[in-house]
A = this chain, B = another copy of it.
Amino acid sequence: MHTLRVDLGERSYPIYIGRDLFATPELLAEQIQGSQVVLVSNEVVAPLYADKVRAALGERKLLSEVVLPDGEQHKTMAMMERIIDRAMADGHSRNTTFVALGGGVVGDMTGFAAACYQRGVDFVQLPTTLLAQVDSSVGGKTGVNHPLGKNMIGAFHQPRAVLIDTDTLQTLPTREFAAGLAEVLKYGLICDAQFYRWLVVNMPRLLARDEAALAEAIERSCASKAAVVAADEREGGVRAILNLGHTFGHAIENHQGYGQWLHGEAVAAGMVMAARMSAARGWLSEEEVQGLVDLQRSMELPVEPPPEMSLADFQTLMARDKKVIDGRLRLVLLREIGSAVIVDDASEDELQKLIAPG
C-alpha cells in the first residue's frame, strides 16, 4: 500500500493506494469519527463492493445506504437531495460521515451533499473508477450539473481520506477505463514530461490492466493533483491547468447530453483540440500533436469533436464556462509537453480551425 498526503493545513488528508484496500482490516474504519455513516453508491457499483465496504465499516450505531442510478445524466440537485433526505429521515447528526463508493458522479454528489448537510459533515471517498481515482476524488471539488452547464452548483469540501482499491479497476468496462486514462495522460501533458514519455512506452501494459503499471500511473497522477491542489485549493490560479481539454470537453458533453460521451472521452477530444491550438501558435510541433493523436487512438479515445458541433455551438456553450472572467474565455494550452499555460486571447479564427480542421 502506498500513502500520499494532500497538504492543506488543517484540511490535510491521506490518499491510500493499493490492492484489496476495501478488505484491509480497520483501514476504512479508522478514517471515520463517530458512529454514524451514510454509504452512497450506485446501481452498478453497489452489487460489486457494498458488502465488502459494509464489513470494513465495522459496527455502527447508524448505517444508512443510498443507491443512486448510474450515469452523468443523474448528477443533479434532485439526486443530491435524495442523499440528504435519507440522512434526515434516518436522523443523522452533524457528526455523521458520508462515504462515497463509486465513480466521479457518486463522489461529486456525495461530497456536495456532505458539504451542505447541516452546513458540512465529514466524507470519505472510495473511488471505483480510474477517472475518480486519479482526478475527481482528490482535491475537494464537489457538485452537480445544471441543465445549462456542468458542475455549476457545488462546493469546495475536502474529504477526510481517499481509499483507492486498485482491484476495482479489473471490473471496470473498457470504455470507462480508457476515459480514466485520458485524465492520467493529462497530468503528463500539463506538468510531467517524463511521466508522459513513460505513458507512451507503458500504454500497452496499462491497457492490459497490469497491476504494477496501474499502481504507478495512479500514484504519479495523484501526486501531481495533490501538489497542484495544495498550491491553489480554490482555483485562484495554477489549479486551472487541471482543466486542460475540459472547456472544450464540457461543451461537448453538454451538447451531446450528459452521459452520451463519457467525461474522459470529451476531455480526450478537448486535449487534442488544445494541442492543435498550441501547435498553431508554434508551441508544439505537428509531430507532438500527431503523437498524442496516435496514443489516444491506441486507447480508443476520441481525437475530434463530434462532427455535428458548429463553431456557434462551441462559442455558446463555452461562454458559460466557470473560467470565463469579465467576458473573456480562459483556455488551458500547452507551452510544451509537460508545461501548461492559461490564455485569454483565443480568437474566433483559432477556434474555427479546430472545429473544421484543414
Contacts and interface: CB of A to CB of B under 8 A. Distances in A.
A152 B88 contact: yes
Given A117-B152, A119-B154, A154-B116, A95 B322 contact: no
Contact of A84 (B34, B84, B88, B146): B146
A141 B119 CA distance: 8
A115 interface: yes
Contacts of A326: 34-35, 93, 95
Interface in A136-162: 141, 143, 146-149, 151-156
Interface string A62-102: 00000000000000010001001100110101110000000
A166 B91 CA distance: 41
A47 to B, nearest CB: 30
A326 B91 CA distance: 11
Contact of A120 (B91, B120, B156): B156
Q: Classify chain A's interface size.
A: 35 or more
| Residue of A93, A156, A324 with highest tally of chain B CB at under 10 A | A93
Q: How many copies does the complex hold?
A: 2
Contacts of A34: 326
A91 B95 CA distance: 37
A250 to B, nearest CB: 13
Contacts of A95: 325-326
Contact of A155 (B91, B119, B325): B119
Interface in A298-321: 319-320
A194 interface: no
A258 B88 CA distance: 17
A118 interface: yes
B152 A93 contact: no
Interface in A118-140: 118-120
A320 B119 contact: no
Interface of A: 34-35, 61, 77, 81, 84-85, 88-89, 91, 93-95, 115-120, 141, 143, 146-149, 151-156, 234, 319-320, 322-327
